[in-house]
Every structure is written in structure tokens, then in C-alpha cells.
Amino acid sequence: MRALCWNGVNDLSVETVADPGLLNPHDAIIRVILTTTCGSDLHVIDGLIPSMREGDILGHEFMGEVVEVGSAVKHIRRGDRVVVPSFISCGSCWYCQHQLPSCCDNTNPQWEKGETVLGHPTGGIYAYSHAFGGYAGSHAEYVRVPFADNDCFVIPEGVTDEQALFLSDAVPTGYMGADFCNIHPGDTVVVWGCGGVGLMAQQSAWLMGAHQVIGIDRYPERLAMARDYAGSIALDYTQVDINEALLELTGGRGPDSCIDAVGMEARGEGLSQVYDKTKQLLHLETDVGAALRQALYACRKGGNIAILGVYGVMDKFPLGLMINKSLTIRTAQQHGQRYMHRLLEHVAKNELNPAFMATHRFSLEDAPRGYEMFKHKEDGCVRAIFAP
Amino acid sequence: MAKKSQPESAGEVVTLRRWITVGLPATDLFALWLEPNTLPRIMSHFATVTPVNKSDALWQIDGPLGKHYSWESRIVEAQPGEIIAWQSLEGADIPNQGELLLRPAPGEWGTELALTLRFTPPGGALGKKVTTFFDLLPKEIVSKALHRFKSLAETGEIPTLDGQPAGRHAERQDKEK
């Protein structure tokens, strides 16, 4: 089959590789219908995530059709049109039983690599380095999905391929962030970042009853999407003093909840930006974190901070803000399996609509070009999606 | 309590010890450990284990420089739900002992397991080589075996990448080994 492979830092190519086969009894093979770029892929492509291997197949956000199932798969069948969360979860361990599927104990074959980095490793994830399992990714004609009964979700008729695609990662991640905010009537929720995850967090915050939702970014087309598709107040941080604006919008209290949907890409302004960027390039620190720092400062006392952006091992963190302001921080890699049934219902009822994020469509052969556009946000690219 | 670094080396003996919690009752895990297919599967990253009979097994490992080491082990203690202990028999290339301790975990966690492997490298030139060999082998021998055992117990399978596709041109191969 054809597959998009990572050959080294910023070196991608579409290669002919072997077709995946069933390796374990709970596996299924999926014919990939759609698969999408995600901001977290850029960390991998740029070499900021250690333990990638040359030739690894990229891609973790996808939907497709089941073409083969293992001997222990009971519910999922050939021909099912399914969406699959990017984190692999066994469904049996303590973490899966307690609604923490991305913490699964049984899906990371390279457990020891994750243990070295994290103390206790996450579950496996498709195409996100060998410390996170080393599974072959979805930017390919076929992908192997372990624990198919637990991880494949049949897409109801009426939900399109493009809507279902983003239920694999962007929607559950954003929805989880809003869920972490424990939203009450009257709440103001601010989302740093109007990429796929940030936009979905904004739609979800409305759905959970927020009084006011604010999206922050610097790209006009993304700010327009926050306004047009999420109904948010859109703030351009290059034009507006964010802290002042948030004080004005909340009568001086500060927002009740803040969601960081940016992570280590967050650009600061001025010298601190240069300092952080230099450290990032020298691998002294793989974080920038301006968005998170701003969120901690802006948030009202006793408020909630949800961190969805991807971080390395941050060496400086404004802990005093958390303590003195009684902030609650909640964070996780996405627990897609926890939310998927609810999300499919929301999409079927048009209460969430992620399909607009598919701004650019490519064949798999043109995937390297798609990543270029996505990385540089050319032509207003929010997500480049590939149809293998 | 555990010392700071593993493997511990008390005199000549290399001790590797790790812990894991598995969400099943101790008696189930005790039985699973003793099934003939279990050791060959959970130790496969380290040794080729061939069961000889209910209590004995043949262990073969590949060392550096094409050296092979082997021994036969025998279960010397087995108390359902509590302990399984074994040791190598006379003539082992690397004399060793192993022990799996089981105890109930709190709440819904199931059972806590502690696996210990103790190796006594023989003296002389071989001993030196073997010591180097274990210096090269990190504590993951034991934690990996425990993780495989846990996955086998909780899900009926061991997570794997063996045979998945990749575009590794440098190595002229496109599947994981």
C-alpha cells in the first residue's frame, strides 16, 4: 500500500510499504477513507518529539471502513463505517474502566520507553513516536486498529465522513477541555487557540451552557471561523491587549475558565519569545507556553484552567499564580472513548459541526504538500485532509 | 525497601525486582502464570523458554558476541494466590533464582505482583562477560515481563508492533521485526 512516512526532521515522502495485517486477536484492519493533519503532528515532523524512527507512518486522526477483523472481535464487522480515537485503549484495565482511556495500561508495546520519559506511560497512540507506542499511523490506505470492539465507533447514517473524521481527535479533545471547565450558567470561557481543537472547545463550551465564549488567535481566517462557526467573540492578540479585553468583557472579574488549545507553539511577544524560541531550538526546553502563562494571569480567582495543548517537560511554570488564586488545573490527553457516543449524537443533531475545519483536501500522494500548507497556514489552511 | 538504582549487585549476585498491579484475583493470576504458554510469551524479549514438564522449563538466551547461555529451572515453591518460586538446576550456565509474590491490592485494583530475578554470574572469564551482559540489560527485563503478563491477564493478548508496516529504506525492510 501507499503511506506517508517520516524519514527525518521535516522530511516526508509517500512510500510503498507492506499492507498491515492482523497481529492480535482483537485487531481490525481499516481501509482509511479520510485522515487529517493535526497540530501535534508538527512536533513530530519538526523533531521535537524524541523516539521517532525513520520510516514511521504518520497520522493519528482518521475514519474508514472495516475490511478485516481478528478472531476475538465480537461487535465490529466488515463493512462498518467507523471513527477511531487517536489513543488506543483496551477497555479492560483500571484506567479504561474508570473513564481514562488515554491512560490505558495495556496498549503501549514499548512501555519502557514511555516509562523513562513519564514515570508511568500513556496508552498507545497511532504515529506519535515510540515512547507513545510506535503504532503505524493512518496516512495510508490501510491501518491496523487494536481492540477494535472498544476503539471502533460505528458512524450513524446522516453523519458525513468529514464530520466523523474530526471525532477521532479534535472534537473529543476540545469537548474534554470544555468538560474540564465544569461550566455553570453565566460563565465566561476563553479559549487560547482557534485551530481545530480550540474551535471545537468553543462550540462545546456553548453546548455546555456558557454565557460567553471568547476565542484568541492571530490568524484572521481562524478568528473568522471562531466568530462564524463557533459564535465566539474573537480576539486578535497582536491587535488587542488580551488581559484588558478580558477584564472589560467580564466586569473586571476575569474569565471563569480558560482553555489552552495552543501548547508549546504559543508565541509570546518581545524578548521572552526570543528566549523561549532559542531554548526550544537548542532542546534546552521544548516549551514556549506564552498562552498558558497568559491564561493563568487572566483567569478569575477560583477559576478553571484546562490544558489541551501539547507540552514537553516544562522547566519553569508560574506555580504561584495557581496557588494564590485557588485555580483548578485539569488536563489530559484526549479520552475519546469516554465521549464518543455523546459526540456522535451531538453531530447527528447538528449541535456540533466540525466539518468546516476541512479547509483543504488532498490525495494521499500529495500529503507532503498538504503538510506544508498546514504548517505554514497557507491559504487559510485549518486542516488538510487526505483521501487515500 | 528498594535501593536507589537497579540492578542491585550484592557481591556477585545481580538482583532485578519490579512491581505491577493487575486487575484480577490472585488465584487467577497464579493459575495463568503456571499455564505452559505463559512464560514463553512473557519472557520472549529476554529468553526462549521451553516448558519441559509442569515444574521444569528450559531457558535459552543470546548474549553479546554470538554467545548462548542456557539453564533448566524448577519450581521449588508454589502456594496458590501467594507465591511461585523457581531456581536453576545443576549445570546452569548462569545460576539463577526467580520469585513471583502475589498480594491483594486495595479497592478495585486487583492484585499486586512483585517479580524478582537473581542471577549469580559464574567466576572466571565467562563470569566477566556475563556481568557485562547484565550491565547492558536494564531492569526492563523484569518490568517488560510483568507488563506482558498483565496485558495477557487483563486483555488476553500482548500488545505488539511485530509485523506492522513501515518505510525503513535504510534497513531494506518494510515491516517491524
Based on the fold, state whether residues A13 and A160 are members of the same structural domain: yes
pLDDT at A49: 81
Residue A284: its pLDDT value, please? 45
Q: Domain check: are A275 and A344 in the same one?
A: no
Q: Please state, in angstroms and rounded to a whole number, the distance separating the CA atoms of residues A128 and A101.
A: 16
Tell me, yes or no, whether A379 and A302 share the same domain. Answer: no
Mean pLDDT of A167-194: 98
Mean pLDDT score across all residues of chain A: 92
Residues of B within 8 A of A110 (CB-CB) are 161
Domain made up of B9-175: CATH architecture: 2-Layer Sandwich (3.30)
CA distance A232 to A96: 34
| A21, A165: one domain | yes
- Asked which of A331, A350, A371 is the last residue of a domain, the reply is A331
- One domain for residues A182 and A304: yes
pLDDT of residue A268 exceeding 90:
no
What pLDDT, on the 0 to 100 scale, is given for residue A48?
Answer: 81
Strands ordered across the beta sheet of A2-8: A11-16, A2-8, A56-57
pLDDT digits (tens, 9 = 90+) for B150-164: 999 999 999 999 999
Least confident of A114-118, A272-276, B75-79: A272-276
Q: Is B177 on the interface with A (CB under 8 A)?
A: no
The reply to whether A21 and A163 lie within a common domain is: yes
Instruction: Summarize the confidence of residues B87-103 as an average pLDDT.
Output: 95
A182: left (phi over 0), alpha (psi -120 to 50) or beta: left
pLDDT, tens only, A149-171: 999 999 999 999 999 999 999 99
How far apart are alpha carbons A378 and A356 in whole angstroms?
17
> Cβ distance A294 to A283 under 8 Å?
no
Q: A40 pLDDT exceeds 70? A: yes
What is the chain A residue with the closest CA to B170?
A: A54
Residues A29 and A140 in one domain: yes
What is the predicted pLDDT for the residue at A286? 41
Query: Which of B37, B46, B150, B151 should we substitute to test contact with A (largest number of A Cβ atoms within 10 Å)?
Result: B151
DSSP assigned state of A222 = H
Confidence of residue A195 (pLDDT cuts 50, 70, 90): very high
The pLDDT score that the predictor gives to residue B63 is 73
If asked whether residues A32 and A156 sit together in one domain, one would say yes
Please judge whether B167 and A109 are an interchain contact, meaning their C-beta atoms are less than 8 angstroms apart: no
Nearest to A144 among B110, B164, B170 (CB): B164
- Residue-range definition of the domain harbouring residue A102: 2-169+334-387
Query: Does residue A137 sit at the B interface (CB-CB below 8 Å)?
Result: no
pLDDT of residue A315 exceeding 80, the answer is: no
Among A53, A93, A133, select the one facing B154 at the smallest CB separation: A93
Task: Look up the CATH number of the domain holding residue A126.
Answer: 3.90.180.10
Q: Is the pLDDT of residue A279 over 90?
A: no
Calculate the alpha carbon distances from B86 to A48, A201, B35 in Å: 45, 55, 15
- pLDDT band per the 50, 70, 90 thresholds, residue B124: low
* Helices first, then strands: H and E counts in chain A: 14, 16
A118 in reach of chain B (CB within 8 A):
no
Which strands make up the sheet holding B83-88, listed edge to edge? B8-10, B13-22, B111-119, B96-104, B83-88, B68-79, B56-62, B48-51
pLDDT score recorded for residue B76: 98
Chain A residue at shortest CA distance from B173: A17
Q: Is B45 on the interface with A (CB under 8 A)?
A: no
Domain ranges in chain B are 9-175
Judge whether B166 is closer than 8 Å to chain A, CB to CB: yes
| Domain co-membership, A257 together with A381 | no
The answer to whether residues A101 and A195 belong to one domain is no
- Regarding whether A358 and A242 lie in a shared domain, the answer is no
Q: With 70 as the cut, is the pLDDT of residue A106 above it?
A: yes
**Candidates B108, B168, B175; nearest CB to A94:** B108
Co-location of A52 and A34 in the same domain: yes
Q: Where are the beta strands (DSSP E) in chain A?
A: 2-8, 11-16, 28-36, 56-57, 61-69, 81-84, 142-145, 153-154, 188-192, 212-217, 233-236, 257-260, 304-307, 328-331, 358-363, 383-387
Would you state the pLDDT for residue B67? 77
In the predicted structure, residue B172 carries a pLDDT above the cut 80 = no
What is the pLDDT averaged over residues B76-98? Answer: 96
Of B144, B156, B159, the CB nearest to A25: B156
